[in-house]
Structure 1
Amino acid sequence: MTTSLDSSKNKGIRALLAATAIAMLLQTSLSTVSGIASAAPAPNAKVTSASSTAIYESFQTKLYQKNGLPGADRYLESHISQVTRYHATLMVLQLENVRNKALTAMTDRMLVPNVQDQMLKIYKSKDSFTQLMSRTKDKNLRSLLQQARDSGYRMVMLEGALYPIMNYSDFDKYTSYVNEDIKQYIRIMAVETNIIAAEDGALMIGYQEILNRALNQETFLNDYPKSNRTRQVQNLLNNYTLYTFYGLNNTPLFDYETNTMVAAAQKGYKAVLQRHNNSEHNDSDLLKKLGTFMDVVADSKFEKTEAVEKWLEQHVPVTKYSNP
């Protein structure tokens, strides 16, 4: 593993991110927070509209000031029980938006060659920002790592470099106070960032897990078609649809040499289809499409024949599911 990052490698890593689910996570959560339905107050019965508005305005002041993310998060955690559910939901979504927007600058700071070199010299597998902080004697590096952690990010190793990504598990402390759709959205995104689905053009999770995640995303879209975060979840489902029916360049669904569907996918897809045959997902469009696909593939003796390719072009065209 090299410990230096020249400009060409930085570009290569960024290209990698753009081609994976992580890139989608970094880019698709910057929508406005309009269209949030006003709901019943959060659990505190003493909440009033005036007091809730005052807290909301104070939060915004903290959130949008320079390096305001850590302070805004602490303030929100201390006051979220004192606002209406509408304001709680609005503030959590605004916090997510600003964290996503600030992530580019934080990534650039961490990719500075001498910073990466320092981090990689003390890094141990699956380290967190906190663990890395405990090993460095450099005050500037410790300050950067603390800011990244307190700004709501977690650290991952990608292609020999250390990156900050969104830490959606950090939003879990707010799920009791927000609208149900945003609660479910946070859970979906936490799964994505806790165990990354794809890296370097290869799948990092199993085929049953791919379908399990996709089904949760599909359920969200069916249950909350007008949610403020519908677009983000739809982008995720688009990715997972391509994973399901095509795989990725380095883990294709059909082996490049034998042109046969990989055995793990055959086994995993059959298991999921059988398991959900009489479940709450038995009306899933994704599973119906997968069931038909498996029939076509079985008729072709699990080889990627012209018939299989034609079916994919008609029913799962890549252009339809490629996110802009």
Structure 2
Amino acid sequence: MADYRGKSRIDRRRRRSRSRSKDVRGGYKLITAEGFIFPIVDYGKLVSYADKMSISMKAYLDVMATESDAATARDAGLAISWDELANRALAAESYVVAFPDTPERKAIEIKYLNYLNMYLIGLNNTPIFDYDTFLILPEVKSQYEQMATTHAGTITGQLTKQLLSILDTTEGAVFAKSKNGEQTNIPAIQQFRDKINASVSSKLPASKN
């Protein structure tokens, strides 16, 4: 006699499996990071419904979709160009300034701080300086100069200009080299880094919520 109960269990598993696959196709995508696979919201698909949303929600989805379509960082390194990172920081800042009272403001503010810290400090596997000389990388300095000039009225531009001014006093050194050739902090730059988040918080508009 056929084991219909076993067949039924298999059918239920298949239905659940198909359902999970449909969920992934319907609004999530699978990504890998440091050997792990996990789902994230596919905001790019939600943007297609923008004509039915408020202006603030569309702006929120635009910021989130940019990240879900192409992750900023992967395995402690930058996965996009410095120019693209600058654009993402500016877009996130623009959202918070334009829509300070939305429920989504906090999420975008956190993302902005993350982008800004990566931009001004760098990542372990994508530093802003040369590991041998500890001097600011030419391509990074060029991006900073463009940011400070083109976006002088933004918080991102103002903080970048501050960092450039400090780098002028250190002759481009992001870190000092000890007698043993080891990397050591430069007080002025360390102080700047420590105050990035506080500086941003003091400049962003307050939320009424």
TM bucket normalised to smaller = 0.7 to 0.9
Look up the equivalent residue of 1:157 and give its one-letter code.
T
What is the match of residue 309 of structure 1? 189
Q: Percent identity?
A: 22
Relative contact order, higher structure (CA 8 A, sep 6+): 1
Asked if structure 2 preserves the Cα contact closer than 8 Å seen for 1:208 and 1:269, the reply is: no
Look up the equivalent residue of 1:309 and give its one-letter code.
I
Look up the equivalent residue of 2:62 and give its one-letter code.
R
Residue correspondences, number: 177
Task: Kindly provide the CA deviation profile for residues 110-161 of structure 1, in whole angstroms up to 9, marking residues without a partner as x.
Answer: xxxxxxxxxxxxxxxxxxxxxxxxxxxxx579623233222x1012233344
Look up the equivalent residue of 2:160 and give its one-letter code.
L
Q: 5+ residue gaps in structure 2?
A: 1-13, 177-185, 202-209
Runs of 4+ residues over 6 Å off in structure 1? none
Asked if structure 1 preserves the Cα contact closer than 8 Å seen for 2:166 and 2:189, the reply is: no
Match of 1:295 among 165, 170, 174: 165
| Greater strand fraction, Structure 1 or Structure 2 | 2
The question of 1:249 aligning with 2:119 is answered no
Helix, strand or coil: the match of 1:175? helix
Asked if structure 2 preserves the Cα contact closer than 8 Å seen for 1:297 and 1:308, the reply is: no
Mapped partners of 2:23, 2:59: distance in 1: 27
Shift of 1:314: 5.6
What is the match of residue 190 of structure 1? 65
Alpha-carbon RMSD across the aligned residues, in angstroms, is 2.6
Look up the equivalent residue of 2:173 and give its one-letter code.
E
The verdict on how the C-alpha distance between 1:317 and 1:252 changes in structure 2, with shifts beyond 3 A counting, is farther
What is the match of residue 87 of structure 1? none
Matches within 5 A, 1:135-174: 143=18, 144-150=20-26, 152-174=27-49
Asked if structure 2 preserves the Cα contact closer than 8 Å seen for 1:167 and 1:193, the reply is: yes
Helix, strand or coil: the match of 2:52? coil
Asked if structure 2 preserves the Cα contact closer than 8 Å seen for 1:207 and 1:269, the reply is: no
What is the match of residue 52 of structure 2? 177
Shift of 1:237: 0.7
The verdict on how the C-alpha distance between 1:146 and 1:207 changes in structure 2, with shifts beyond 3 A counting, is same
What is the match of residue 231 of structure 1? 106
Q: 5+ residue gaps in structure 1?
A: 1-138
What TM-score do the two structures reach when normalised by structure 1?
0.49
Shift of 1:301: 1.7
Helix, strand or coil: the match of 1:156? strand
Mapped partners of 1:267, 1:141: distance in 2: 52
